[in-house]
Amino acid sequence: MYGHVAEHVGEDGRSEPAGMALWFLNFSTWTGRHGVYLEDLYVRPHLRGHGYGLALLRTLARICVERGYTRLEWSVLDWNTPAIDFYAALGSTSMDGWTVRRLDGDALRALGSR
């Protein structure tokens, strides 16, 4: 797991964390190359709209380009229209036709103990 923190410096010269991106490497059998999966992107509400989310995504995109990774992927809740619009404006596309599946809790323990 890797992370980046965006820092906001106020008019008084004090700095505070503005946001963060947590990510890890994944691997695509389709391309035979690594990619980056963005697990969490968060910008503090009072600092949204100042470019911190964009800066964090640019950093991850730059890592992908420099290292020859083929994709930067993440999930977004289908009701989060502001985030979806922001991501679409960057040129990202929705992976229609794919459904996220999850095993957790009792179902995970049951399968893992068989």
- How many of the other CB atoms lie within 10 Å of CB of 91? 6
The answer to whether 2 is a known catalytic residue is: no
Q: Which is catalytic among the residues 37, 52, 69, 87?
A: 87
Q: Do 66 and 53 form a contact (C-beta atoms < 8 A)? A: no
Close Cβ partners of 100 (under 8 Å, ≥ 6 residues apart): 75
Q: Report how many helices (DSSP H) and strands (DSSP E) the chain contains, helices first.
A: 3, 4
Question: Which residues are identified as catalytic?
Answer: 87
